[in-house]
Structure 1
Amino acid sequence: MSRAALVQFPAFRHHEASREGANNAMMALLVGAQVSAQFLELTRESPRPLSEIFPTIPHVGRFDLRPDAAQAILQGAEEHLGAMAVPQALAIHEGFILDCLELLGAGSASAWKMHDKLATQAGGTFDADRMSRFHVLREMRNAIIHRSGVVDQRLIDKINELTPAGEAAWCKHTGRSPRGLQLGDSVTFLLGELVEALATTKALAREANWMLIPAVSSAAWADVIVEDHLQHTPAGLNPTKRRKAILGFCRHHYRAVTVAEADLKAAAAARGVDMA
């Protein structure tokens, strides 16, 4: 089977949509901040606060600065947006890996070992270069959330474990290497780090998807397929139409897996649905 084939089960579709939404929101906020900063050049010399210049803008009173001060903040918004967007991208990915573990009946795991547990349960391996990048991002995220962005030894250790190929990919996306960070420095997430986080987690999610295809039994996939199908099709179909609908749903979303029709019928029957 080609590794290009991905199974489009609900958790994976949700993961892809969430990634795209996070990326679009970050780009919209980043561009919007720069457009706003440029627009404020027209009123830069005004001594009046924004609430007086733009009284109809919702919540303007919470950002009630003079135009020059507001412009300076907007011009530097990338770092603040990155500090929110990169943790969000990692959280979306970690939630998906937990969903994969649940599908395997493997329980839960912490962020630092969930990939290893999934690989062990599925009988596969994740790309070592990508995993080294993920763990650097994870410790950088932890520094932002738990240590006010201050670099500690745990982050330094993960940076030292970054593979040469992993570092090259990181530098391609960010334009800088994390090896420049020292104990006590401050972590900053810019657009490049978001691109790196999205690229790394996208690739790891696809690897997880490929691992699941042979690791999940036909009966288990049938349960997922029927439940997914019933969430997206009308009730009341007769058995012949239900069978055609489920098989068509399989071809559309689940063509990457081989599922016995007998398992689909059993899964449907367990939910009180008859297939001809």
Structure 2
Amino acid sequence: MGELLYSEYREYFRTRVEVNNAMMALLAGSRLAGHTLQLTAGSQRTLAELFPAVEHIGRFNLRSDEARSLLRNADHHLTSVALPYALATHEDFVMSSIEFLRNEGFAIKKGGKAVKAWNMHSVLFNSAGSAIPHDLLQSFDLLREMRNSTIHAGGKLQPNLLKSVSAMGASSTAEWQRLNSQAPSDVIASGQVSLNASHIFTAFAVTKSLARRINTSLRSAIPKSSWARIAVEDYQEITSKTKNSSSWRRSLIGYVRLNYSPANLTETDLEQAARQLNYWTLNAWK
């Protein structure tokens, strides 16, 4: 049916694309740099001597063969940066979605616990009255524990990471293998977290799928009248059209058709919302 492109979701989508592009640029950049340095094979000069015009090159003051060796093994280090970045972007969206439900009058079902990264999805889906996508959450939890072991334990294996590996079901394991060409247990090697570039792609794929499930849950849970109000308020934030003008009304209808079509809002729904918000005060809706 498509996604509801309400303002918070559009902002999340924009940020996710920005983060994804930045991480891919770093990954591709490391490959390009390594490829370029093949041209300097055998040189005893440092990078600063070979490429003096490159900003900050002096901070990477190595010979080209040493630099190539580092770049060939940069994936682990890039992933250790990209994984927390991708998950933090998603976690902010989930928390804001829970607040979205709260603001719409939903009781937030926390089970007496503080809402954290480990339980935020369950809190959201339970509060929205939606089924919990356990397969996706198993992959998300594995990524989260990989991140936690990396940033909180210097990459050393932690018990919760082992639990997450063991908790992977048949479906989530098959999807993990498809995305990474490895079994979930392969993220552990010699008592350490073993990161590679595929884990970056997996983090973006899993969080994108979860965000779509959240979008669907919110669409189903929040009543149509509320979506009409949200859509009209969203439109009013971005429009330069004069209220009560025919151009304001026509543009509203087009904007809602573009961004809110999955909510199946009618002109009558929009008119009622616009009148309740005092954005339309004329007797006739034309």
66-75 or 22-31, larger mean C-alpha shift: 22-31
Q: 2:183 aligns with which of 171, 174, 177?
A: 177
Given that 1:129 and 1:163 are in contact with CA atoms closer than 8 Å, whether structure 2 keeps it comes out as: yes
The aligned residue for residue 256 of structure 1 is 262
Q: Percent of aligned pairs with the same residue?
A: 32
CA distance in 2, matches of 1:180, 1:226: 49
1:134 paired to 2:140: yes
Q: 1:47 aligns with which of 30, 37, 44?
A: 44
Question: How far apart in 2 are the matches of 1:155 and 1:251?
Answer: 44
Structure 1's 151 and 45: CA in aligned 2 closer, same or farther, altered over 3 A? Answer: same
Report the residue type matching 1:87 in the other structure: P
**Number of residue-to-residue matches in the alignment:** 271
Kindly state the Cα deviation for residue 140 of structure 1 after the two structures are TM-superposed: 0.8
Q: Could you tell me the TM-score, scaled by structure 1's length?
A: 0.89
Change in 2 beyond 3 A, CA 1:41/1:5: closer
1:92 aligned onto 2:89: yes
The reply on whether 1:145 has 2:154 as its aligned counterpart is no
AA in 1 matched with 2:46: P
The CA deviation at 1:109 is: 2.2
Q: 2: distance between equivalents of 1:267 and 1:87?
A: 43
Does residue 31 of structure 1 match 2:48?
Answer: no
What SS does structure 2 have at the residue aligned with 1:200? helix
Q: What residue number does 2:111 align with? A: none
Structure 2 residue runs of 5 or longer lacking an equivalent are 109-113
In the superposition, relative to structure 1, how do residues 223 and 241 fare at CA in structure 2: closer, same or farther (>3 Å)?
A: same
Query: When the two structures are superposed, what TM-score results if normalisation uses the length of structure 2?
Result: 0.87
Secondary structure of 1:110's match?
Answer: coil
- SS in structure 2 of the partner of residue 20 of structure 1: helix
Offset at residue 226 of structure 1 (A): 2.6
CA spacing shift, 1:208–1:262, aligned 2, 3 Å: same
Q: Which of residues 166, 171, 184 in structure 2 aligns to 1:165?
A: 171
Deviations 1:104-126 (A, max 9, x none): 11668211111111111111013
My pick for the range that moved more, 78-87 or 104-113, is 104-113
- 2:241–2:247 contact (8 Å) kept in structure 1: no
Of the structure 1 ranges 9-18 and 160-169, higher mean CA displacement relative to structure 2 is found in: 9-18
SS at match of 2:16: helix
Q: Shift of the alpha carbon at 1:63? A: 0.9
Worse-superposed segment, 121-130 or 21-30: 21-30
CA distance in 2 between partners of 1:266 and 1:145 (Å): 51
SS for the counterpart of 2:235 is helix
One-letter identity of the residue aligned with 1:16: F
Secondary structure of 2:263's counterpart equals: coil
Matches within 5 A, 1:198-237: 198-237=204-243
Give the Cα separation in 1 of the matches to 2:93 and 2:260. Answer: 18
Moved over 6 A (4+): none
CA contact (8 A) 1:101 1:118 kept: yes
